[in-house]
Amino acid sequence: MSRAFGTFNALRDVSLTIERGEFIALLGPSGCGKSTALNCIAGLLATTGGAIYVDERRIDRLKPEDRGFGMVFQNYALFPHMNVRANVGFGLKMRGVAKDELKRRVDAALELVRLGNQGEKLPGQLSGGQQQRVAIARAIVIEPPLVLMDEPLSNLDAKLRLEMRAEIRRIHNQLGGTTIYVTHDQDEALSLADRIVVLRDGEVRQVGGPEELYAAPAHLDVAEFMGFRNRVTGKVTGVEGDRATISVGDTQLSGKASGALQPGSAAALVARPDDLTVGATGIKASVESMEYRGREFVGLARAADGTELVFHGSERVAPGTAVSLAVDPARAIVFPVSP
Amino acid sequence: MSDVASDRLGLRQRLSLRGLDGTTLLILPALLLLLAIFVYPFLYGLWLSFAPKAGGIFANYATFFGDPFQYDTIWTTLALAIPVTIISLVVAVPVALRVRLLKRQRLLTTILVLPVSLGTVLVAQGLLNYLGPQGWFSRVLMLLHLSGGPARLTHNYWGVFASLLITGFPFTFLLTLSYITGIDPALEQAAATHGANAWQRFRHVFMPLLVPGLAVAFLLSFVQSFAVFPSAVLLGAPAGPTRVISVAAYQAAFEQYDYSMASAIAMIMAAVQLVVVAIILGARALFYRGSTSGGKG
């Protein structure tokens, strides 16, 4: 599937097979094409190439109303002039479902999102979290083969977001349908999805389960997105099996090799902040600040070449102190980079 | 001592708490202008209408409602203003629904605003030539053998009708367009993905959200059409079929020099408009009138 806006390719050859019952997260920074992909699937945007099939049926030339999906919008898009029941029953009414069946199914959907007693209210009288539940109920009441969710939690506050995250997963499990969930928040994607599709610049960078993506990102972009905030570049000095060693300045660092690495070629080593600690050997840097985080401290240091490094520590280090930051070789990853 | 002083707010603070401060003074010029050119003339006209040349204080009103030549002007005017307003709206809504999706909206808007800026007299002049018995329209009809003789579209009801429609439509359209573009586009997308076809989206989403705005557009357009004068005289038959109420007022004032009678007719005109406004606003109150966006975000 491709989508171009003029000469700008918002999506390039995105190819994906989704199994029935799967929860898929499309993850990427803003502008990576994830919402474009979702809108193409929904039919709100036309594709400029490729095809979309549901089972054997080709749907990418169908109008959105003929695709039969449910969709949850980022700003909820509830009909402000209809009460909650009418909003939820909208899809059924458009399909000409008989009155008592409509009532029964709306009741069931409201029960599922735990809004049983709010049916007569207008959307404007509900809180953000409740509006979100109405939007979910409206999408699932038609029992669609596929529910599309476009950053549904981004307008909620942090506490509600965690709550709704669990709700969305519960509803997905209960209904057994397929869900495609767009988000820029890797925590959301990791905790919700069976499989995560990482998009960047309109291309798929990696597809995999949450554990796989978290532990073994296959691409430098994906690693950065998965919390590998520290990145130092140097030259490969040795490759042994799946281990690689690079020299950064006069320091030797090693990590898991990922991609084609040859001795002498340029490479980047990435590590998460909690895999970087103050030690006897390691990257030489000067501490800039320390932040107290309860169980530990999170520090910001700057290496001699200006690289910012985020590390964890058990005690406060005064700003300006020169330290050596040791990298856990079991958890760091080395990627090739173009020099 | 200072405690006592701080407990009592100064006059300035107390006034500003009630919304009266230096900024409020800025409305004074507008207020004075309003009093001088609207409120005073209106009250003066009202008083004048109850001071007839002869007879009791209601003599003017009795004369008006006792003479079909006079009171029929109300129906004549309504028969022009209401269809023109309804047709403008009925045409404006689908056009606005389409134009909302255009990229070059501004160009179209500019073209549409032109008739408004030309003024009714120029439009009337153009229509006299175009729709007249020797005009293009009539000639084309005859050329295509759609009409046996010259079409009579000026100096009657249809001439005034066309002129009102042309000068009134852009106004109605622009108002409608602004209401339609004010509706969150995500609502239409939500309706579409949940199975509503184009007609259902219009019927269940756009229409209910548009009604309050359309009611206001209806009123503004109606009031404009109801006050028709130049086109009724230039393009109509002001002695008969298009003797609208403003013509009656004009004749009373400047042909019979009876300002008192003219004022009474103006007051009747205002009353008729008020009745229509009240009916429309009353009907509007039955509809949802809140926000037209789909969420809190």
pLDDT grade, residue A9 (50/70/90)? Answer: low
- B-chain residues near A67 (CB < 8 A): 193
Tally the domains of chain B.
1
Provide, rounded to the nearest whole percent, the portion of chain B with pLDDT above 90: 53
Q: Does position A1 have pLDDT exceeding 80, yes or no?
A: no
In one letter, which amino acid is A111?
Answer: E
**A145 contacts: CB under 8 Å, gap ≥ 6:** A20, A54, A68, A69, A177, A178
Does A155 sit within 8 Å of B291, measured CB to CB?
no
**Chain A contacts in chain B segment 258-297 (CB below 8 A):** 287-288, 290-297
**Chain A contacts in chain B segment 159-198 (CB below 8 A):** 184, 186-187, 189-197
Looking at residue B1, its pLDDT comes to 46
Looking at residue A3, its pLDDT comes to 54
Nearest to A70 among B194, B200, B296 (CB): B194
Distance, in Å, from the CA atom of A278 to the CA atom of A267, rounded to the nearest integer, reads 23
Distance, in Å, from the CA atom of A92 to the CA atom of A99, rounded to the nearest integer, reads 9
In a domain, B96, yes or no: yes
Looking at residue A209, its pLDDT comes to 93
CB of A232 within 8 A of CB of A248?
Answer: yes
CA distances in angstroms from B78 to B74, B214, B223, B231, listed in the order given: 6, 19, 10, 15
Looking at residue B6, its pLDDT comes to 56
Work out the angle at residue A252's Cα, subtended by the Cα atoms of residues A250 and A253, and round it to the nearest 5 degrees.
Answer: 135
Enter the ipTM. Answer: 0.81
Most confident of A306-320, A325-339, B31-45, B278-292: B31-45
In a domain, B1, yes or no: no
For residues B7 and A54, the model is more confident at A54
Q: Does position B187 have pLDDT exceeding 80, yes or no?
A: yes
- A-chain residues near B101 (CB < 8 A): none
Expressed as residue numbers, the domain containing B266 is 25-284
Does A65 sit within 8 Å of B294, measured CB to CB?
no
Cβ neighbour number for residue A14 with a 10 Å cutoff: 22
DSSP, residue by residue, A43-107: TSS--SB---EETTEE-TTS-GGGT--EEEBTTB---TTS-HHHHHHHHHHHTT--HHHHHHHHH
Among B101, B103, B194, B292, the strongest candidate for a mutation testing the A interface, having the largest count of A CBs within 10 A, is B194
In a domain, B95, yes or no: yes
Looking at residue B297, its pLDDT comes to 43
Nearest to A75 among B193, B204, B294 (CB): B294
- A-chain residues near B290 (CB < 8 A): 80-81, 122, 124
B292: its two tokens: 């037209």
Looking at residue A7, its pLDDT comes to 47
Provide mean pLDDT across the span A162-177: 89
For residues A309 and B21, the model is more confident at A309
DSSP, residue by residue, A232-279: EEEEEEEEETTEEEEEETTEEEEEEE-S---TTSEEEEEE-GGGEEEE
Nearest to A81 among B186, B189, B288 (CB): B288
In a domain, B168, yes or no: yes
Distance, in Å, from the CA atom of A285 to the CA atom of A270, rounded to the nearest integer, reads 16
Q: Long-range contacts for B259-265 (Cβ within 8 Å, ≥24 apart)?
A: B259/B48, B260/B48, B260/B49, B260/B51, B260/B52, B260/B53, B260/B60, B261/B52, B261/B53, B261/B60, B261/B63, B261/B64, B263/B45, B263/B46, B263/B48, B263/B49, B263/B60, B264/B49, B264/B52, B264/B60, B264/B61, B264/B64, B265/B64, B265/B70
Looking at residue A314, its pLDDT comes to 86
Does B195 sit within 8 Å of A95, measured CB to CB?
yes
For residues B17 and B218, the model is more confident at B218
Does B186 sit within 8 Å of A73, measured CB to CB?
yes
Looking at residue B230, its pLDDT comes to 86
CB of B232 within 8 A of CB of B183?
Answer: no
Give the model confidence (pLDDT) of A118-136 as tens digits: 889 999 999 888 999 999 9
Cβ neighbour number for residue B24 with a 10 Å cutoff: 12
Give the model confidence (pLDDT) of B102-121 as tens digits: 888 888 878 877 777 777 88
Q: Does position A270 have pLDDT exceeding 50, yes or no?
A: yes
- Cβ of B103 under 8 Å from any chain A Cβ? no
Beta pairing, strands A266-271 & A8-11: unpaired
Which CATH number fits the domain that encloses residue B84?
1.10.3720.10
Provide mean pLDDT across the span A188-211: 90
Task: For chain B, give the mean pLDDT.
Answer: 88
Give the model confidence (pLDDT) of A202-242 as tens digits: 888 899 999 999 988 988 888 988 888 899 888 888 888 88
Lowest mean pLDDT among A150-154, A247-251, B179-183, B206-210: A247-251
Looking at residue A18, its pLDDT comes to 84
Q: Does position A88 have pLDDT exceeding 90, yes or no?
A: yes
Give the model confidence (pLDDT) of B41-87 as tens digits: 999 999 999 999 888 899 999 999 999 999 999 999 999 999 999 99
Distance, in Å, from the CA atom of B62 to the CA atom of B49, rounded to the nearest integer, reads 11
A193: its two tokens: 């999805």
In a domain, B197, yes or no: yes
Torsion of CA A89, A90, A94, A95, to 10 degrees: -40
pLDDT grade, residue A281 (50/70/90)? Answer: confident
8-state DSSP, B205: I
In a domain, B295, yes or no: no
Looking at residue A6, its pLDDT comes to 47
Looking at residue A138, its pLDDT comes to 94
Nearest to B294 among A70, A76, A91 (CB): A76
Nearest to A78 among B192, B288, B294 (CB): B294
pLDDT grade, residue A4 (50/70/90)? Answer: low
In a domain, B291, yes or no: no
Does A139 sit within 8 Å of B195, measured CB to CB?
no
Closest CA to A275 of A221, A226, A336: A226
Distance, in Å, from the CA atom of A227 to the CA atom of A31, rounded to the nearest integer, reads 19
Distance, in Å, from the CA atom of B216 to the CA atom of B75, rounded to the nearest integer, reads 22
In a domain, B14, yes or no: no
Provide, rounded to the nearest whole percent, the portion of chain A with pLDDT above 70: 97
Distance, in Å, from the CA atom of A285 to the CA atom of A300, rounded to the nearest integer, reads 10
